[in-house]
Amino acid sequence: MNQDFNKIFKTPKYTGVTLSLLSMFVLAAMFVVWQKVPNQDPLESEQNISILCDLKLKIPVEKILASFKKEYPCSFSVNFLDAKEFTSALENKSGSNADLLIANKTILRKFVLAYSNYGQGIPFAFENLFNSPPEQQSNEPFVCSIKNDTPHSHLAFALGRYFSAPSRGQFFLAEAGFTGVNGDIWKLRPTISVLVPKTYERRIKDIAKKFSKVEGVNLDVMGKDELEANATIHLISKSNAKEYLPDLMIGYKELTPDNKSYFPATENSRKGLVCFSTRYKRTAIRFFNFYNRES
């Protein structure tokens, strides 16, 4: 009986040391995965975002806000004003208490951006010129402009990204006859991967923390020297796994001449390079501009 038993149930070849090492490996792997999972601050249901909005956007904006609230509970206090009322509110600075301004960039640039109370904004649509009188026509986009010192900036930026997202706000804007934009793919807290020289890594990580607090996005900053970065980018670019390319590169001089995976984040600077295949082009560019202001 004992012999038959031993034939069926053989003693494992793994020693106690081997099993301990395997356990340590599994735990380490679990820890790495856990570290990679972004820490998402839960949205507080009591948050209220105050909005000043151009009246001509009323129909699509109401639908967008209702859709946003279904996904992420929050509340909005919206004041819709026609062009004359909106201009008057900005001239008198009575609109400067709103967390978010939604209007054409032409108006905001003239009355608000000069005061530095609000950011440049997230573009989300262009006006259909056939439906507007000549005096109200503009080639500038409509934008969501967030107040610099609002305590709800992360939610306001999320809403701005929602407006410009192809699968979210763009649907309602197209339905209302507005021309859309090529916005980022929607995600409440997108993760932007950033490749930087090792000498800049610590500084850029500090700036990334500030940006993350303002916009509510995650930034994964990794440092590599120029030779290693070039080799890595070149290798991935030639493969079928381009989704693993960093969304943004900061501080490198040039990529190899045959590499066509990146474009300059700004027209007059190649210190920031954005990946063509990233799903978060606009957010990556905003971080690069934020980095330039903080540097």
Tell me: the pLDDT tens digits for 167-217? Answer: 999 999 999 999 999 999 999 999 999 999 999 999 999 999 999 999 999
| Gap between the Cα atoms of 240 and 226, Å rounded | 23
User: Containing H/E element for 172?
Assistant: helix 169-175
Q: Is 272 helix (H, G, I), strand (E, B) or coil?
A: strand
**Residue pointed to by tokens 């409509």:** 142
**Confidence (pLDDT) at 258:** 59
Top mean-pLDDT range of 14-18, 161-165, 289-293: 161-165
What region, left, alpha or beta, does residue 93 occupy, with left being phi > 0 and alpha being psi -120 to 50 degrees?
left
What pLDDT score was predicted for residue 89?
Answer: 84
* Predicted pLDDT of residue 34: 39
CB atoms within 10 A of CB 105: 19
Question: Could you identify the residue written with the tokens 């070849």?
Answer: 13
Q: What angle is formed at CA 27 by the lines to CA 23 and CA 28, rounded to 5 degrees?
A: 115
Measured between alpha carbons, how far is 104 from 87 in angstroms, rounded to an integer? Answer: 11
**191-294 is classed CATH 3.30.420.40:** no
Tokens 């992360």 belong to which residue? 154
**Type of residue numbered 135:** E
Q: What is the pLDDT of residues 44-83, one digit of tens each?
A: 445 789 999 999 999 999 999 999 999 988 999 999 999 8
pTM assigned to the model: 0.79
Percentage of the chain with pLDDT > 90?
52
In the chain, CATH 3.40.190.10 covers 48-175, 191-294
Single-letter code of the amino acid located at 234: H
C-alpha 54/C-alpha 58 separation (Å) is: 7
pLDDT score at 35:
44
48-175 CATH: 3.40.190.10
Q: Which residues lie closer than 8 Å to 284 by C-beta, 6 or more apart? A: 192, 247, 248, 265, 274, 275, 278
